[in-house]
Amino acid sequence: MAIELDAFDCKLLMEVQRDAQIPQSELGARVNLSTAAVNRRLRRLADEGVIDRYAAIVSPEKTGHPITVVANVEVESEQIDLLDAMKRTFARCPQVQQCYYVAGEWDFVLILAVRDMDQYTELTRQLFFSNNNVKRFKTLVSMSRVKVGLEVPLVASAE
């Protein structure tokens, strides 16, 4: 599953994870490679799926979704088709940014971006109260987004 990455790959990935707009020529200068080599490596990394995709990161505040909510959910039954249905429901909801199926005290952890608490209340109806397989859920409202990203740690030494 994991793919061999040399020091050049790691450095390139670290850069483009932070900023995908750096021109390949500039990347080449930073890691000591020609632009063509940078181009080939980035293409290879994308083909191999190491780079999943390139995306614009949009500010939730500026777009009127200032509230981040973490919701923990416990299910009634772990029957596979019930779980799959829940996963689909959660994944389909646009306000759900992330959904993890976890082991521990809870079964699901959701991260939501909402306009206000009214919208969240409405979502709890849709996602939790109207779902018979939700046993209970607990809400944590974020007061500050200390760090938000999807960056993967890549020490340059990793092989």
Residue 47's H or E segment, with its range, is helix 35-48
If binding is defined by CB under 7 A, does position 34 make contact with DNA?
A: yes
Binds DNA (CB under 7 A): choice among 14, 37, 50, 70: 37
Distance CA 71, CA 97 (A): 12
Closer residue to a copy of itself, CB minimum distance, 33 or 96: 96
Distance CA 6, CA 70 (A): 36
Q: Convert residues 33-62 into a mask of x (bound to a copy of itself by CB under 8 A) and - (unbound).
A: ---------------xxxxxxxxxxxxxxx
CA distances from 150 to 51, 70, 97, 130 (A): 12, 16, 12, 31
Which of DNA, a copy of itself, none does 29 bind, CB closer than 5 to 8 A by kind? none
If binding is defined by CB under 7 A, does position 33 make contact with DNA?
A: yes
CA distances from 136 to 61, 78, 107, 111 (A): 29, 14, 10, 16
Interface of this chain with DNA, residues 40 to 59, rule: CB under 7 A: 40-43
CA distances from 20 to 6, 57, 79 (A): 20, 11, 41
Instruction: Identify the DSSP state of 126.
Output: I
Size of the site for a copy of itself (CB under 8 A): 72
Which of a copy of itself, DNA, none does 36 bind, CB closer than 5 to 8 A by kind? DNA
If binding is defined by CB under 8 A, does position 144 make contact with a copy of itself?
A: yes
Which among 27-35, 73-81, 84-92, 126-134 is the span making contact with a copy of itself, rule CB under 8 A? 84-92
Which residues form the interface with DNA (CB under 7 A)? 8, 23-25, 32-37, 39-43
